[in-house]
Amino acid sequence: MRISRISIKGLFGIFTHEIGLKSDERITIIHGPNGVGKTVILTMINSFFCGRYGIFQSIPFEEFSIAFDDGRILNLKKIPRPTDPNLPPHKRQDDLILEFHTEGSKPLSYPLKPLQDIRLQMPVQMIEQVIPGLESIGPATWHYLPTQEILSIEDIVERFGDRLPIERRPKETQPEWLSEIKKGISVKFIETQRLLTYSKIRRQREFEDKPSMIPAVRTYSEELATMIQSKLAEYASLAQSLDRSFPTRLVKGSGTIHSTIDQLRNDLNSLEEKRARLEIAGLLDRDPDVDFREFLNIDANNSFVLSVYIDDVKKKLAVFDELSNKIDLLVKIINNRFLFKEMSISKKDGFVFKASNDKKVPTASLSSGEQHELVLFYELLFKVKPSSLILIDEPELSLHVGWQQQFLNDIEDITKLTGFHILIATHSPQIIHDRWDITVELKGPQNA
């Protein structure tokens, strides 16, 4: 199930937009002048699938619709509710009615309840003890580590209310059709603020004057090194298991093989090339004592042993396939863009940069444009589930014209590897470059 169309009526009281997603190309670009609601639309999509319904109270709109490729449609309607005129605007609540349509069936509706009728009956300082993964970063703000989101108390109560002691009016259970749709769609929002992440290291807060933040390039560099170490452990475990059983499998084997001697030689050459690629990717160390091409002298006496050995090596190296493909593409993209420096990957340090004079360049010394690029492409390759919908806001930030024009080519390479769809919001013609065929223009009311 995929999203095929998004529409919104009465945005800010004046705009009506309809966005058909380009399913074949996997990339859709929305563009238009500032103020037409590009970022707001991405925020609404993300907030709905993350369960942050409270955001819809703060956005002026009449109807927000999401159509799916299987014919199902969700309509979220905002109906003004009579309120005390003396209430400040942030305390006024409208009714939010979600309608579910399927072909040939009567629409189903579900009211999204306003949050102001819910009160937390515990000290806010204790929330982190009840909800794993939450870390306070301010007086009323939390970082939710599993999704990297920044949540308010309203967001937390709305999402985790069933696990917290709260005072509320009777609330209906979320209908099955809504749960099914939200489980079937994974959304990742890559916002304009990409260069900093909140530290996962818990500090003594009495000595802190502000939230703990560190450069995202440092966080992701350490994260990639951890991923590599995990894969190496998996590789070592499988290698030990196969090596232990190797003699037994030789003895029990029939001695017959299903590959010709030429095929075995081709396999050995391919394995040597793959091992070399894994070394370049930082996943394996160079072992001068191992060269699969040394076994190319194959005859009837050793062909069976070599066939079992080759199968084992294929299984061992296959552990790295997914990770190495992503690393290879990331390094290729970055090295095609960055000038006077070259990127490589280390299993110990993660990202490694060297200048043209062979001196190491700290990641913190990368320009803001370079950091934006590295963070963006890392997130797309390593932090997104397959078949997700990716929302990217203003990818042109800090990028010179040449990088902007190359952006879509790199994105297309990533979508081929990962299989997800992307919705991009931009007002940069350079990002679009020559791909106006995948764009949707958001127009003002005078052109609608």
Q: Are 42 and 64 in contact (CB under 8 A)?
A: no
Separation CA 211–CA 198 (nearest Å):
7
Torsional class of 404: left (φ above 0), alpha (ψ -120 to 50), beta (otherwise): alpha
C-beta separation of 56 from 47 below 8 A: yes
**Exposed, middle or buried by CB within 10 Å (0-12, 13-18, 19+), for 65?**
middle
> What is the rounded (10 degree) CA torsion for 327, 329, 331, 334?
-140
Task: Tell me the mean pLDDT in the region 429-441.
Answer: 95
Average pLDDT rounded to a whole number, residues 216-231: 94
- Scored b (16 or more CB within 10 A) or e, 88-122 reads eeeeebbebebebeeeeeeeeebebbbbeebebee
Burial class (CB in 10 A: 0-12, 13-18, 19+), 195: middle
Q: Give the distance, in angstroms, between the CA of residue 37 and the centroid of all CA atoms in the same chain.
A: 23
Q: Between the CA of residue 269 and those of 256, 284, 314, 317, 328, what are the distances in Å?
A: 22, 17, 12, 14, 20
Check whether 206 has a pLDDT greater than 50: no
Per-residue pLDDT, 148: 77
Fold of the domain spanning 1-117+386-448: Rossmann fold (3.40.50)
| Sign of torsion over alpha carbons 226, 366, 215, 151 | negative
pLDDT at 135 over 70: yes
68-81: pLDDT as tens digits? 999 999 999 999 88
296-342 pLDDT, tens per residue? 777 777 788 888 889 999 999 999 999 999 999 999 999 999 999 99
Q: What is the pLDDT of residues 92-128, one digit of tens each?
A: 678 899 999 998 788 999 988 644 455 666 777 778 8
Q: What is the pLDDT of residue 126?
A: 78
pLDDT at 274 (0 to 100) = 94
Q: Domain locations in the chain? A: 1-117+386-448, 220-321
Which range, 120-124, 156-160, 187-191, 206-210, has the best average confidence (pLDDT)? 187-191
Which residue, 42, 47, 44, 23, is CA-closest to 31?
42
Higher per-residue pLDDT: 82 or 21: 21
> Residue 28: is its pLDDT beyond 70?
yes
In this prediction, residue 167 carries a pLDDT of 64
At residue 387, does pLDDT exceed 90? no
3-state percent helix, strand, coil for the chain, nearest multiple of 5: 40, 20, 35
**Distance between start and end Cα atoms, the chain:** 30
Query: Among 16-30, 194-208, 343-357, 397-411, whose mean pLDDT is lowest?
Result: 194-208
Q: How confident is the model at residue 225 (pLDDT cuts 50, 70, 90)?
A: very high
Angle between helix 321-337 and helix 401-418 axes, rounded to 10 deg: 170
Name the residue with higher pLDDT: 153 or 164: 153
Assess contact for 110 and 172: CB atoms under 8 A: yes
- Name the least confident of 10-19, 111-120, 224-233, 434-443: 111-120
pLDDT digits 0-9 by tens, 245-300:
998 888 887 555 667 888 888 998 999 899 999 999 999 988 766 777 777 777 77
The pair of structure tokens assigned to 349 is 């340090």
Residue 432 pLDDT greater than 80, yes or no? yes
Mean pLDDT of 345-349: 94
pLDDT value of residue 116 = 46
Nearest CA-CA partner of 259 in 316, 298, 209: 298
Angle at 2 between CA 176 and CA 98, to 5 degrees: 40
